[in-house]
Structure 1
Amino acid sequence: MRLEGRTIDHKYLVGDLVAAGGMGQVYAARHLETERQVALKILRGDSLPQPEAVERLRREARAAGRIGHDNICEVLDLGRLPDGTPYLVLPLLRGKTLAAALRDSGPLPLPRVLDIGAQILAGLAAAHDAGIVHRDLKPENVFLVRMGDRDDFVKILDFGISKSVEPRPIDGSLTQTGTVLGTPHYMAPEQVRGRKDLDHRVDLYATGVLLYRMTTARLPFTGDSYSAIVSAILLDPFPPPRALRPDLPESLETVILRAMARDRNDRFPDAETMRRALLDVRSPDSGRAETPAESTQPAPAAFGDTGRGDSTPSAPTPPTGALHSVSTGSTAARRAESPRDPRR
């Protein structure tokens, strides 16, 4: 169903198709009263049973609203098309996903790795403090926008399969015991096993994999099938980052390996502890690596991946994370004193 030129709910004039994927479409749109440029995220009618589709979008809207952090993509509105198809209204981000940045650049410079990683962890810390676990963190769900003269302002997208760890979860029947949701390359071992008692540490593991990929341009675990990837995550060793990129500081490798510990008790206790460890990483050549100021400002309205970092939403690479998965608790004070090496 194409919507260009239509008016939705007497409020949104639909413009160009920005991206499309297995679960739905993202259109640029304009609010008729305020003239604000927004993005409409619309689920395909055949992608999920409608009650489940509606619940996923509601969960995404509630999660973003509860977190309320600059590094989390906010949700502006929630509605339905005349045929009942649900949609979300999001800021129209201009920039590219981390996936596109990695395709364009390969391994990233150390300051950029630390900057992006610290912002991801700041957003996750806010989410976890609000009792929300993302569970599908991957390069496609990390959006990089330019704000003023600042590059790489991070917006975490797609809380569609997020999990509340409160006594009364908001997940309903969508995340029953044994159901595996998420992207396999970035899943923690307990997640690929389908354990019910997932907590915020699955997001820290995924951040470790993101840091690994940003520094090496490789994934730690690969396979030619879903089951092969899962088996590798659970059993196989992987090369430490400095074996692939010797110029990396040992302290950064330590952060990555601790985040990716197979035993979640050996990982960082919370996102803020991991963020501070990342900010303490020192360059082998120049002492502490140069990183932007820790304080951030709100980013401009936006959503959608041009893949080029420009401001024209034409023929973009589909942001698969935002479309294919329409798609904690309080922080702890302790650190694991001697985390095991996750490669063993």
Structure 2
Amino acid sequence: MAVDSESTFRIQARANANATDKGHDTPPRPERGPGTLAGEYVLKSMLAAGGHGSVYEAEHRILGRHAAVKVLHSHLADQGEMLQRFVREARVVNQIHHPNIVDVYDFGLMPDGSPYYVMELLSGRTLSQVVQERGRLSASRALAYLEPICGALEAAHRAGVVHRDLKSSNILVVEEGEKPRLKLLDFGIAKLIQQEPGQEGLTTAGQRLGTAHAMAPEQFRGGSIGPPTDVYALGVLLYQLLIGRYPFQSDDRLELERMHLEAPPPRPSVKAPVSPAVDAVVLRCLDKDATRRYPSVNAFLTALREATEEPNQVESQTRLVLAVNAEVVLPATDMDDDTTYAALANVMDTLEQGLRAESFTLALQTGTALLGVRPLAAGTTPAQALQPLRELQAEAQRLAEAVHARVHLCLHHGEAETRGDSGEAEVVGGPVTHVATWNVRDPGGFAITRPASRFLEGPPQQ
């Protein structure tokens, strides 16, 4: 079905929907079995269904080309905003035309008045599913996933389109490998940077579009939307790939909004072994001021590539190390959140500073636990490593009493894969990083594993 313009399509779709749904308070969703025609495409089976529409596998009745057909529920065709989003998505995607954005072949109206568009048929998993299955990724692997998405976003921005709902669940991983193939999906709330004359926007005063976990401050405020809005979402996505969770998390939408508007963005290195250079990329993306973010997606991608480069990479080597797992166990009883968080932050800061003062490198860190690792240098006396750690546990425990929490330290001796000089070695793996296999607790708060006991009883390191 030929459509001259978006407005013409909307008018005709509404007319068809009204005619089809006349007499129904809540129009039923029509059953579209195999053989139903959507233009020249024959529907074969349903792939997915939701509150707004359904997606079907289909085949061109003459050419035999396989495709996916997305159909908006007929009763929604009379709702101007839903119809506008549906038509806008098809037009915008077709306008950009990029290999990392799903292709749209055709669009029109079903006999019952339901709008549809035909797009390429894809299979794979969402990037969100990949993160859920694998947990956090290395910076280099995160870059491999983001490169094709950055290409798609840059093409969209050149075409005058801001996605404004970039998130891992809107990215399909079609093929894995050293250079994975991805597709950016869902341009349903995309914004045209330069609105066409007479064209309606998707927002009204006070309305906010996007997903709260990945929305930029200007989206919450109802401010100006542009490429920096997508750059902010790239920062959220990069953090999620590196850590396995969003930078700001809360079940309370108002609290989540407050975090995006006011809370300092967290450094990924607080939760995982991430370089300061990658930290800097994430923090610049998540700046509250859009003018201080990267000016373009390409600028972000260049910075991330530079941050993940290792021009003088040194092969890792196995070293004997001392490892300390420090953890804070909070009481099960309900307490004032602000009081608990403030006390916990104070304890964690004390533990981190104490470990660093004893030349331990932080290999892992969560909100309530730290793993410190120190390669053994020649001349190290066992007793020299023990007493400062006992004192650190006692000091941290005194601070934790304010919220009735317990601080546990466990000293271990074992092997780690490290890179760099012994004084500033980066821990990249090894048995000691598998904390659950050796960590123990002592009622007194300070535990020593058997390998560590044997080390403490031995002579100084040679």
The interval holding the TM-score normalised by the smaller chain is: 0.7 to 0.9
Match of 1:158 in 2: 186
Write the letter of the residue equivalent to 1:75: V
Q: How does 1:113-128 map to 2 (within 5 A)?
A: 113-128=142-157
Distance 2:199 2:71 in 1: 20
CA RMSD of aligned residues (A): 2.2
Q: Report whether the alignment pairs 1:269 with 2:295.
A: yes
* Residue number among 211, 216, 219 corresponding to 1:183 in the alignment: 211
Specify the code of the residue in structure 1 equivalent to 2:233: A
Letter in 2 for 1:174: L
Q: Give the Cα separation in 2 of the matches to 1:62 and 1:218.
A: 33
Summarize the Cα distance change of 1:226–1:48 in structure 2 as closer, same or farther, 3 Å threshold: farther
Unaligned runs of 5+ in 1: 289-344
Could you tell me the TM-score, scaled by structure 1's length? 0.77
Matches within 5 A, 1:315-330: none
Q: CA deviation at 1:241?
A: 0.3
State whether residues 266 and 283 of structure 2, in contact with CA within 8 Å, keep that contact through their aligned partners in structure 1.
Answer: no
Whole-Å separation in 2 of the counterparts to 1:154 and 1:194: 30
Distance 1:263 1:73 in 2: 32
Report Cα offsets for 1:174-219 as digits up to 9, x if no partner: 2223210111100000101122x21111100001100000000011
Calculate percent identity across the aligned residue pairs.
Answer: 37
Query: Match of 1:337?
Result: none
Range with bigger deviation, 74-83 or 46-55 = 46-55
Give the CA deviation at 1:124. Answer: 0.8
Match of 1:280 in 2: 306
Partner Cα separation in structure 2 for residue 73 and residue 134 of structure 1: 14
Q: Evaluate the alpha carbon distance shift between residue 75 and residue 4 of structure 1 in structure 2; reply closer, same or farther with a 3 A threshold.
A: same
Which structure would you say has the larger RCO, counting Cα contacts within 8 Å and 6 or more residues apart?
1
1:118·1:279 contact (CA, 8 Å) conserved in 2? no
Report the CA distance between 1:57 and its aligned residue.
2.1
Larger Rg: 2
- What amino acid is aligned across from residue 258 of structure 2 in structure 1? S
1:321 maps to: none
Moved more, 2-11 or 199-208: 2-11
Correspondence for 1:35? 64
What is the TM-score when the length of structure 2 is the normalising length?
0.58
Aligned ranges 1:82-97 → 2 under 5 Å: 82-97=111-126
Find the aligned partners of 1:165 and 1:254 in 2 and give their Cα distance: 28
Q: CA deviation at 1:167?
A: 4.7
CA distance in 1, matches of 2:157, 2:64: 34
Query: Which of 134, 148, 173 pairs up with 1:144?
Result: 173
Q: Matches of residues 60-99 of structure 1 in structure 2 within 5 Å?
A: 60-99=89-128
In the alignment, is residue 20 of structure 1 matched against residue 84 of structure 2? no
What secondary structure, in the 3-state scheme, does the structure 1 residue paired with 2:54 have?
Answer: strand
Distance 1:84 1:141, change over 3 A: same
**Alignment partner of 1:192 is 2:220:** yes
CA displacement at 1:259 relative to structure 2: 0.8
Q: Is the 8 A contact 2:284 2:292 kept in 1?
A: yes
Please say if 1:216 is aligned against 2:243. yes
For residues 189 and 39 of structure 2, the distance between their equivalents in structure 1, rounded to whole angstroms, comes to 30
Structure 2: which 5+ residue stretches go unaligned? 1-29, 315-462
One-letter code aligned to 2:290: R
For 1:329, the equivalent position in structure 2 comes to none
Count of residues in Structure 1 that have an aligned counterpart in Structure 2: 285
Superposed counterparts of 1:327-338, under 5 Å: none
Pick aligned residue for 2:202 from 171, 174, 199 = 174
Residue in 2 that maps onto 1:257: 283
Inter-partner Cα distance in structure 2 for 1:107 and 1:171: 42
Indicate the structure with greater helix content: 2
- Corresponding residue SS for 1:175: coil
Whole-Å separation in 1 of the counterparts to 2:293 and 2:199: 25
